[in-house]
């Protein structure tokens, strides 16, 4: 099987992706006519993930995020050098890299949005397939208890905590979530939540956090990778089933996130 056959399988699932206009899903490095030996899946093809691919004899990496930093012709010199080092390793070991983002964010059940909801364990209302957002009515709990629940859920995917804006003792009955960087607070308001769960790359402090504080909406913040890795891991069994192959593995990106607090 060639790489182009695997990417075609993934792309045909994304009926909501306007590929003729704009998509993030492309072969970023290598040759799509290359024969697939072993596939490695990761949230981002960090240098550690690439070296893990070399060790595990992977010759095709599917990454959710861009492993070459910024998509720009005005990159920082340090980022250019780091990207070139990654490409040198990939070239040396005959590894191709495909980014699967727009399809895998929203694909039903196995994708990033639904796997994040499954991790949280609440009964979310049905999501429009092209939407990143979901809402759920939950058993009454304080915002603090909800934050502890989210932190506990994240541990298996490498994040050791969360942080929160707002009143920890506010009673919560309804939440709204996005996934990855798609956690625009103002769009989440359409679900009338008592609290929201967002990502660090999906909000900013001077706008979203300020509004949440002013409007008394507790806002729990998780790391971008933390809420997406579950969905990326789920690509492994999905591909195994669709390709009838066991030569697929998950590559550790090294995105273990530690939180340090005072005891005051």
Phi, psi of 128 (to 5 degrees): -65, 135
What radius of gyration, in Å, describes the C-alpha atoms of the chain? 19
C-alpha atoms less than 13 angstroms from C-alpha of 212 in its C-beta half-sphere = 29
The span from the CA of 19 to the CA of 53, in Å, is 29
Q: Report yes or no: 138 and 172 within 8 Å, Cβ to Cβ.
A: yes
The span from the CA of 198 to the CA of 221, in Å, is 5
Residues flagged as binding site for a divalent metal cation: 64, 105, 224, 228
| Residues whose CB is less than 8 angstroms from the CB of residue 191 and which lie 6 or more positions away in sequence, other chains included | 133, 135, 174, 176
Residues flagged as binding site: 64, 105, 224, 228
The span from the CA of 131 to the CA of 179, in Å, is 10
Closest CA to 251 of 116, 97, 123, 75: 97
């Amino acid at each position: 099987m060639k790489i182009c056959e695997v990417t075609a399988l993934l792309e045909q699932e994304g009926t909501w992706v306007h590929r003729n206009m704009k998509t993030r899903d492309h072969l970023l490095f290598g040759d799509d006519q290359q024969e697939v030996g072993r596939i490695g899946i990761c949230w981002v093809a960090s240098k550690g993930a690439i070296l893990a691919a070399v060790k595990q004899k992977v010759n095709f990496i599917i990454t959710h995020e861009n492993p070459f930093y910024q998509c720009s012709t005005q990159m920082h010199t340090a980022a250019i050098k780091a990207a070139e080092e990654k490409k040198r390793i990939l070239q040396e070991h005959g590894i191709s890299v495909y980014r699967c983002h727009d399809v895998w964010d929203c694909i039903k059940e196995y994708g990033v949005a639904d796997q994040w909801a499954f991790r949280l364990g609440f009964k979310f209302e049905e999501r429009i397939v092209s939407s990143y957002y979901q809402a759920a009515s939950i058993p009454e709990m304080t915002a603090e208890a909800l934050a502890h629940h989210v932190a506990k859920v994240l541990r298996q995917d490498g994040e050791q905590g969360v942080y929160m804006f707002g009143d920890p003792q506010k009673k919560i009955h309804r939440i709204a979530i996005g996934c990855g960087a798609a956690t625009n607070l103002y769009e989440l308001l359409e679900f009338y939540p008592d609290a929201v769960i967002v990502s660090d790359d999906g909000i900013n402090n001077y706008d979203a956090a300020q509004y949440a504080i002013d409007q008394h909406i507790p806002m729990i913040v998780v790391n971008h990778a933390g809420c997406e890795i579950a969905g990326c891991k789920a690509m492994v069994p999905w591909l195994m089933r669709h390709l009838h192959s066991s030569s697929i593995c998950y590559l550790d990106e090294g995105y273990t996130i530690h939180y340090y607090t005072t005891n005051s």
